[in-house]
Amino acid sequence: MKTLLILGAGTGGTMVANKMVHELDSREWEIIIVDRDETHYYQPGLLFIPFGIYNPRDVEKPKRDFIPLNVKLILSDIELIEPEKNRVLLSRDKQVINYDYLVIATGSHIHPKETEGLLDGGGWRKNIFDFYSPDGAAELARYLKFWKGGRMVVNVSEMPIKCPVAPLEFLFLADWFFHERGIRDQVEIVYATPLDGAFTKPRAAEVLGGMLEKKGISLEPNFNIGEVDNKKNTIRSWDEREIPYDLLISIPTNMGAEVIKRSGLGDELNFVPIDKHTLQSSAWENIWVIGDAGNAPTSKAGSVAHFMLDVLIDNMLRHMEGLEPLAEFDGHANCFIESGFEQGILIDFNYDVEPLPGKYPLPGLGPFSLLKESPANHWGKMMFRWMYWNILLKGGEMPFESQMTMAGKWQ
Amino acid sequence: MTQDILDTVAFDDDGFMEDAAAWTEEIAQAIAEALEVNLSDRHWDVIKFARQEFETQGEPPTLRLITQQTEVSMKEMYQLFPGGPAKITANIAGLKKPTGCI
Ligand SMILES: Cc1cc2nc3c(=O)[nH]c(=O)nc-3n(C[C@H](O)[C@H](O)[C@H](O)COP(=O)(O)OP(=O)(O)OC[C@H]3O[C@@H](n4cnc5c(N)ncnc54)[C@H](O)[C@@H]3O)c2cc1C
């Protein structure tokens, strides 16, 4: 018997398990997937929890429900990957798993420790919160419910972060939420980002920056946080700029899993170096990487993991047959951006083409307006949760093509 | 003098050298002067590390990598290359503009 071992049963790993189970002959192959956590979190839903739109239960389901019966799910911490021995060590019962092929899908996670004073200065979960973790989002919801207002600063510690539009969505929703609560005039909203504008790509940065302005949200660009001063309630940049806050919403440094570092497989942020077009590990032929865990220079997003899926599966199957992998992944990303007041924006881009305005053709559902607010984009975003649980995770056909298309885009 | 040297070098639209192989220490001096950076030994440690990284990896190093792999701390990087340490390092080291983030 041969073994396909998948590390991580989040968005990417679950999809790979569901696809591979149909591709590999079960008389020849055993498929094993390992994750430490028995709960699957629908992470895009974390955005809505602080504002009471979703509650924590709305984004949780048991992982087991999404893993096919003939795939073996092991709940355990992954301790070490030893690529030169083709094996992985688990904490649980000190198991050792030998593999023929390995898929790394261990994602990326927040590391508030990386910023001085963020986690250990006394304000964490008192007037400093994150919404990138399930418990952070839930605690923030409790806090915002009774907050009387003041100066709210949203700060991104360091790029890259997963779902780079989420901080903007948070700002737009906060503006809406404080309106609804009738205290918008009591709240000052500030966005402090290391980027030189609202977003990484120029056309989108312009549109999104304009929206911040229209909503009365002030932008502090090129802000690279050095420390949080919990006594003065101030964040300070490396070049000594200070921004005072009453409430600090932090998107801490995002890094790949610790096990990647321990195993010597990562770059300086514990992301695994890969060929950005084939998704094969740069160092090991039989290791493949999907989703946030790799260092492909595109957004870290569930939609991207989905667009990677077909290329990854094809290339692994080709490799098993002794064929060269195809360089087919183009960095395709597409994100619905919730913009408050039941409106949304859609952006669609890849390694070479930045988000452009136009229409996104979607048979049966669309078209959706690109880079422009519309109610349909809001409903697209809300519908995404259903599609995520029911289609995407199961490796089903989504109405989006893996490779980006220029159809409908205005240049 | 500075301008004479800069005139011999091809830069892209963002002001980064088109050909990293054409770089010399004099060119680095000239770019640094144009950017009003006074090169000390500490600067050179960083610049040399950046050159070396680029040779092996094909990309200019990120700020995080520089501070992990050299003695220079994040705080000092901002003092040595105020404004945008990773970008300015790449600029003076004759490397392409760092791709930054997505
Ligand atoms: C607030 C927020 C909003 C978002 N919004 C969107 C959106 O609108 N659209 C979109 O497309 N994407 C969005 N995303 C991003 C999306 O959720 C992720 O990009 C996606 O889940 C990545 O999938 P993955 O498989 O790479 O990682 P994950 O789904 O995070 O899975 C990684 C898994 O690995 C496991 N793991 C890690 N290390 C170990 C170990 N040592 N031992 C055992 N198990 C381990 C973890 O438990 C986890 O289950 C959002 C994310 C956040 C946080």
CA atoms within 13 A on the CB side of A332: 18
pLDDT range class, residue B31, cuts 50, 70, 90: very high
Tens of pLDDT along A158-211? Answer: 999 999 999 999 999 999 999 999 999 999 999 999 998 998 888 899 999 999
- Pocket residue to mutate for ligand 1, from A34, A292, A393, most atoms within 8 A of Cβ: A292
Residue B17 DSSP class: B
Angle at A88 between CA A82 and CA A91, to 5 degrees: 125
Chain centroid offset of residue B79 CA: 14
B40 CA to middle of ligand 1, Å? 43
The whole-angstrom separation of Cα A75 and Cα A393 is: 18
How high is the pLDDT of residue A364? 66
For residue A43, report the distance from its CA to the centre of ligand 1, in Å: 7
If pLDDT is split at 50, 70 and 90, which confidence band does A253 have?
very high
Nearest ligand 1 atom to alpha carbon A336:
8
- Across the range A124-130, mean pLDDT stands at 98
Strands (E), B1-102: none
Question: Model confidence at A60, in pLDDT bands (50, 70, 90)?
Answer: very high
pLDDT band, residue A374 (cuts 50/70/90): very high
Q: Where in chain A is the domain with CATH 3.50.50.60?
A: 2-46+61-107+257-320, 110-253
Query: A105 with A13: CB under 8 angstroms?
Result: yes
Mean pLDDT on A235-260: 97
Mean pLDDT in chain A? 95
User: Which residues, in sequence order, are bridge partners of residue A242?
Assistant: A236
State the Cα torsion A289-A293-A297-A301 to the nearest 10°: 110
- Nearest atom in ligand 1 to the alpha carbon of residue A338 is 8
For the domain bounded by A110-253, which CATH number is listed?
3.50.50.60
> Tell me, what's the pLDDT at A362?
75
Give the C-alpha distances (Å, rounded to integers) separating A320 from A29, A265, A278, A342: 12, 23, 14, 48
- In terms of average pLDDT, the best of A363-367, B44-48, B55-59 is B44-48
Across A352-387, b (16+ Cβ under 10 Å) vs e yields ebebbbbbbeeeeeebbbbbebbebbbebbbebbeb
Write down the ipTM of this complex.
0.86
pLDDT of A201: 84
Judge contact between A184 and A178, C-beta under 8 A: yes
- Give pLDDT tens digits for A289-315: 999 999 999 999 999 999 999 999 999
Q: Residue A62 above 60 pLDDT?
A: yes
How large is the average pLDDT for residues A101-110?
98
Q: Name the residue of A43, A111, A265, A335 to mutate for ligand 1: max ligand atoms within 8 A of Cβ.
A: A43
Q: Which pLDDT band holds residue A151 (cuts at 50, 70, 90)?
A: very high
pLDDT: which is higher, A396 or A319 = A319
Which tens digits make up the pLDDT trace of A312-358? 999 999 999 999 999 999 999 989 999 999 999 999 999 989 898 88
Task: Retrieve residue A183's tokens.
Answer: 């205290």
- Give pLDDT, residue A402: 78
Which protein residue has the closest C-alpha to ligand 1 atom 6? A44
Nearest-CA residue for ligand 1 atom 23 is: A11
Domain ranges in chain B? 2-92
CA distance A86 to A209: 48
The residues, any chain, with a CB within 8 Å of residue A236's CB and separated by 6 or more, are: A225, A226, A227, A228, A229, A242
The residue that leads in pLDDT, B84 or A49, is A49
More confident residue, B24 or A361: B24
Contact present, A220 and A248 (Cβ < 8 Å): no
* pLDDT at residue B100, as a whole number: 65
Dihedral angle at the C-alpha atoms of A322, A324, A330, A336, nearest 10 degrees?
0
Q: A2-46+61-107+257-320: which CATH architecture? A: 3-Layer(bba) Sandwich (3.50)
- Interchain contact B84–A (C-beta under 8 A): yes
Q: Is B13 on the interface with A (CB under 8 A)?
A: no
Band of pLDDT at residue B6, cut at 50, 70 and 90: confident
A79-100 confidence digits (pLDDT tens): 999 999 999 999 999 999 999 9
> Is the pLDDT at A254 greater than 90, yes or no?
yes
What residues are in contact with ligand 1 under a 6 Å CB criterion? A 8-13, 34-37, 43-44, 46-47, 77-78, 105-107, 131-132, 162-163, 166, 257, 259, 291-293, 300-303, 305, 335
B78 contacts on A by Cβ (under 8 Å)? 224, 226, 238-239
**Bigger pLDDT: A369 vs B43:** B43
Atom of ligand 1 nearest to the CA of A337: 8
pLDDT exceeds cutoff 60 at B101: no
Q: Does B38 reach chain A within 8 Å, measured CB to CB?
A: no
A331-340 as b/e: b if 16+ CB within 10 A: bbbbbbbbbb
| Residues contacting A284, CB < 8 A, separation 6+ | A83, A102
| Token code pair at residue A291 | 């989703």
A298 contacts in chain B (CB < 8 Å): 102
Cβ distance A268 to B101 less than 8 Å, yes or no, reads: no
Task: Specify the residue with its C-alpha closest to ligand 1, atom 53.
Answer: A132
Protein residue with least CA distance to atom 2, ligand 1 = A44
Share of chain A above pLDDT 70, in %: 99
